[in-house]
Structure 1
């Protein structure tokens, strides 16, 4: 598998794309205004202890207090990794006002503050140092029993007394001296953190994790990466300087490409646009639909345009197999975390179900983020969980729609029209004004006016008021402005934007719905029926207003 890393350094953001066989699989984005918090170490003060939730809130100096679970607050762990205080109560461990050193393990997302732990981890290139835990662990991705045993023996010799280490995947085949340098560097860093914790105010930042490019070099740029391309010369030189210390063997894989459109040349920009859409097309013609909700993400698989060539069961199997590969890629690319439900197309044969599940499991192994597949149900639903430590791609690049508030839908014009029709009747009973002005989206205004003004006449009859309904193109479809007009000058200024004999230049937007010979123009939502302009759609023409009605005006073309 050909693995590449592309780094785009901009003024306001740095973006890193990870490609496998020329296909985008992971995306990292860091902006100056929203620095990453995971990995940062703080000295904080316990604000609240909640026995009912077995958790505490810790003030670490951020906008929202951090959340500390009881299992993340237990002082120490036994060598085999089990909590030393089994069933401990949060009230026995922490007290309000107590000062603690914590590390952020989960970014603040939405209304939730960051999640923290007292079990500090300091990642290096080959090892992760755990100063508060006496433990040795080996990466699960190292499959050779012989290599695992070799690394475990070295780790036991090198780890500081009373501390723990986890040997990372990158350490496979590495000599003891390189591991020793990692341990010494991380131990020195921990001593500095403890020294800072004894001085200064509380809360305080004790240690900031590396910036994005440095983290990529530490965590992603390993021996299996064929090429790292960066488009910034200053950052390129920094990368080479850092690799001189951490990985000189990797320097020959680093390349500088100062073209402005590096991401566009590799198709990353187009792939990012697709990664924000609900529907993802498969090569076979089928497609998957991804819906991210608050509590879980639902993925639906469909055959789409794929009709197969043998039989239905074969068509379904081929679609599901291709979907399994794409789903695993999309989870990594979109950085989707939490509960994930995949609705594969129903398969009759148990063997086919096993095949699909096996392919999904194999693809998930490529993902460094911890993912658990709980199996496939009789309905063809696969239940999964994926650890969520940072915002998803959509949360980074998008925000909820200010119009629909993230619902993805708005009320229909019929629904809005019925609601405000009742509101107009209620207002008419409460006001002494003889005239009421209604401003609404053109679709809602048309619904209130009705064909030939029938609905408007009925509404005026019911309310006993003069109603002026104006369509405003810029108005949100769910917002309708209804207000009484008391002064005659106010009525004239707000209800009739044109007067007979007035000369205007207007753009013909569409032909008349009934009389195609005429064209329709709009002036702040007020309709102008222009005689003989049906063939001039899109053109700006001079007209003279000939007659003004309450809901529209007629005009003639000027030659």
Structure 2
């Protein structure tokens, strides 16, 4: 399977298309004014605690207060609150957490009012961007993703991606990371770390630790609503998370973005630098690659299936409903059962693609064609 990334540009932002074998599987957009990106870490202030929701509303500078549920506090919220207060009061300058005493974990089932107080200042990370009338959704379980590793402050746990199957490789990676990571930092070992040398893993870890320390230096003089650590651009974060051997091409429409992407690829995977291309065609990038046509056919309420039939996708406030139809594919009684089976199987694959493309979550109800 070949993988391509297309990045087009406009005055108000950019769009990023991920293709598998020329077929659109993910579409992302990033506006110039998009201030609250998933992964951004802010210094927020507790504005309201709602006991009925077991949640708090946090002021991070958006027009609507952001939402923080008890389950998103993370087990080490007390350590985070203590660290934040100590740094803000200039009583602690070891941003690498050396010698920092971790507090006991909070209960998995508890009351947010027993943990947070109104006007508390707390470090929070955006886990869901604002949409419609809702503000961002937040977490206090901070994490910094890198190419091979994810750094988790106020933890000592090392976990390996379940996609790494080899028992020997899992043991090797656990041994390596435990030997190089500092105390009071947990690490998640990503799938792409498989087979990587200790030099590459250590380099990634040092970069993440440096990002953390630079952010915490800002915390000392930061004001409420300030961004402490910012996530990289959407295109760079996608490349960081998805780049693998199947990537054949990254085509960029705008020159400054091209330079940025090329520089980033050079730093994380220099052998892949040659796949980054600057688009010079007369037509717009998405039009030239047929993406605009795919977008128009894919994002309507009705989506046609490759071998006949179609699905209807409807959205409500409570749930998403997907209805599978065979159309006029077969009206013969003897063919109806096999037609239903084939259509349902094709529809299941297309529905999975649509869920990914439209970033659909929550309750999803699928009404397949009835079969005996």
Q: 1:316 to 1:246 in 2, by over 3 A?
A: same
Pair 1:132 & 2:162 matched: no
Alpha-carbon contact 2:36-2:126 (below 8 Å) kept:
no
Other-structure match for 1:24 = 24
2:370 and 2:279 mapped to 1: Cα distance?
48
Other-structure match for 2:243 = 221
Deviation, 1:234, is 2.6
2:166 and 2:249 mapped to 1: Cα distance?
26
Among residues 122, 130, 137, which one is paired with 1:108 in the alignment? 130
Pair 1:325 & 2:337 matched: no
Other-structure match for 1:303 = 326
1:301 and 1:210 mapped to 2: Cα distance?
39
1:311 and 1:250 mapped to 2: Cα distance?
50
2:192 and 2:331 mapped to 1: Cα distance?
43
Deviation, 1:174, is 1.5
Other-structure match for 2:218 = 196
Alpha-carbon contact 1:73-1:93 (below 8 Å) kept:
no
1:138 and 1:215 mapped to 2: Cα distance?
20
TM-score (norm 1): 0.59
Among residues 212, 216, 234, which one is paired with 2:256 in the alignment? 234
Deviations 1:423-464 (A, max 9, x none): xxxxxxxxxxxxxxxxxxxxxxxxxxxxxxxxxxxxxxxxxx
Deviation, 1:308, is 7.7
1:147 and 1:308 mapped to 2: Cα distance?
55
Other-structure match for 1:160 = 182
2:33 and 2:256 mapped to 1: Cα distance?
21
Matches within 5 A, 1:315-354: 315-348=339-372
Alpha-carbon contact 2:159-2:189 (below 8 Å) kept:
yes
Deviation, 1:132, is 2.5
1:230 and 1:111 mapped to 2: Cα distance?
33
1:139 and 1:150 mapped to 2: Cα distance?
13
Other-structure match for 2:314 = 291
2:219 and 2:270 mapped to 1: Cα distance?
34
2:46 and 2:105 mapped to 1: Cα distance?
21
Q: 1:275 to 1:83 in 2, by over 3 A?
A: farther
Pair 1:262 & 2:270 matched: no
Unpaired runs of 5+ residues, structure 1, are: 349-559
Among residues 121, 128, 146, which one is paired with 1:99 in the alignment? 121
Q: Give the number of the structure with larger relative contact order, counting CA–CA contacts within 8 Å between residues 6 or more apart.
A: 2
Q: 1:306 to 1:202 in 2, by over 3 A?
A: same
Unpaired runs of 5+ residues, structure 2, are: 80-103
Q: 1:87 to 1:114 in 2, by over 3 A?
A: same
Deviation, 1:237, is 2.1
Pair 1:181 & 2:203 matched: yes
Secondary structure of 1:313's match? helix
Pair 1:314 & 2:338 matched: yes
Alpha-carbon contact 1:72-1:119 (below 8 Å) kept:
yes
Deviation, 1:50, is 2.2
1:331 and 1:182 mapped to 2: Cα distance?
32
Q: 1:294 to 1:71 in 2, by over 3 A?
A: same
How many residues align? The count is 345
Deviation, 1:158, is 2.5
Other-structure match for 1:272 = 295
Secondary structure of 1:322's match? helix
TM-score (norm 2): 0.87
1:145 and 1:200 mapped to 2: Cα distance?
45
Larger radius of gyration: 1
